[in-house]
Amino acid sequence: MNRNSSIFSSRSYVKRFVLTAAGMLVVAILFVAIVDPNNTLALSPPFERYPAATNQRFSYPSIARSKAFDSLILGTSTTRMLEPANLNKNLNVNLANLSMNSATWWEQEQIFNLFLRHHKQPRLIIWGIDTIWCSPDKPGPQLTQRKFPEWLYDENSWNDYFHILNFKAFERAGKQVGILLGLRQPNYGRDGYRSLNKKGTPYDLAKARRKIYGQTEPIAPAKALERPSIDAVTRKNWQFPNLKTLDRLISKTGENTRVVLMMVPYHQNSLGPPNGPAMLRYDECKKRVFKLSDRFQNVDVIDFMFRSSFTNEDRNYWDPLHFNEQGAKQIENALVDFIAKGKTVSTIYRTSLTPRQAGDKS
């Protein structure tokens, strides 16, 4: 083989390689674009897609835009066990549960704003209020270690195409195809719900207690401290900056949207003793939340965050922060009693810091 033929052969090989690689790249792009795993692209077939991404921040934007829903549950994982199907009939709404694991105040703001842009007058919003909103002095970080795709939360569906050429997008497209073909289960329902017990394993009380107490035997509730561990002046000067954000967001809702701020039911062991720092922090936060609600005719507060027959019962929990299926049924029933029936007296929730009649915003 002479030198010229060798060069020709090398050029032909490189040309075939480049054309093959380019063809594979085009096929990969078309595959992701047609499957549209996030269900947000401007042009894609109308498949009956399910959320395909494990990271809810990728899965939930399309649900937030869906006209199948007129109401919303949002918060962190502490409200993820609320199942929309169990609430819809009794509340006469169509809820999506878009509570995200470890969702920061800023991430909750993004999903709320997106939902509100596509649902001008939601019927009901149940917003889980937990430690994220009860930071006394600092707002805390905007993001977690989980990637947050801001481009999925804007109103430009064309710029989503710039984010389909990566391994994760291709992986999610493969998952979506598996879901569409019935070969795999979706990560979340079309309403955003999935039990924290995604494997459906039998409940293990000993395991739950190890997470709650650090041992399999329960520990008696801590006795109240003789005097507050944080002085009254310090507590009064707490700013709770995230509640100011919450106030601003709620002000976007109209009088026809009922907003229920739900102080979540942490296990009593995580609340600590009365007059302890955790309890004082949450009690002060609750005061501010109730004060916030009094500014709006369409806002109510339901408080599960105190020692009660619910929060003292280990069998209601997976761990110190998250209630299980048994607990979820009780919380869902309580929400129905309060929202639909106007019941303000209960052993497991409170509707004001001081007794008042249902609907009394004075």
> How confident is the prediction along the chain (362 residues), in pLDDT tens digits per residue?
555 566 556 677 777 777 777 777 777 788 889 999 999 999 989 999 999 999 999 999 999 999 999 999 999 999 999 999 999 999 999 999 999 999 999 999 999 999 999 999 999 999 999 999 999 999 999 999 999 999 999 999 999 999 998 999 999 999 999 999 999 999 999 999 999 998 899 999 999 999 999 999 999 999 999 999 999 999 999 999 999 999 999 999 999 999 999 999 999 999 999 999 999 999 999 999 999 999 999 999 999 999 999 999 999 999 999 999 999 999 999 999 999 999 999 999 999 875 443 344 43
What lies within 8 Å, CB to CB, of 35 at 6+ separation is 44, 47, 173, 176, 177
Instruction: Copy the structure tokens of residue 348.
Output: 């497991």
Question: Within a 10 A sphere around the Cβ of 254, how many other Cβ atoms?
Answer: 9
Question: What pLDDT is recorded for position 20?
Answer: 75
**Alpha-carbon span 320 to 145, nearest angstrom:** 22
Q: What angle do CA 43, 49, 52 make, to 5 degrees?
A: 105
Question: What pLDDT is recorded for position 1?
Answer: 53
Question: What pLDDT is recorded for position 357?
Answer: 38
Q: Which fold has domain 56-154+191-339?
A: Rossmann fold (3.40.50)
Q: Where along the chain do its domains lie?
A: 56-154+191-339
Question: What pLDDT is recorded for position 6?
Answer: 62
178-196 pLDDT per residue, tens: 999 999 999 999 999 999 9
Nearest to 57 by CA among 34, 81, 38: 38
Prediction pTM value:
0.92
Question: What pLDDT is recorded for position 26?
Answer: 77
Q: Give SS3 for 357.
A: coil
Contact 346, 333 (CB under 8 A): no
Question: What pLDDT is recorded for position 358?
Answer: 37
b/e for 178-215, b at 16 or more Cβ within 10 A? ebbeeeeebbbbbbbbbeeeeeeeeeeeeebbeebeee
Q: Residue 194: left (phi > 0), alpha (psi -120 to 50), or beta?
A: beta
**Alpha-carbon span 214 to 216, nearest angstrom:** 7
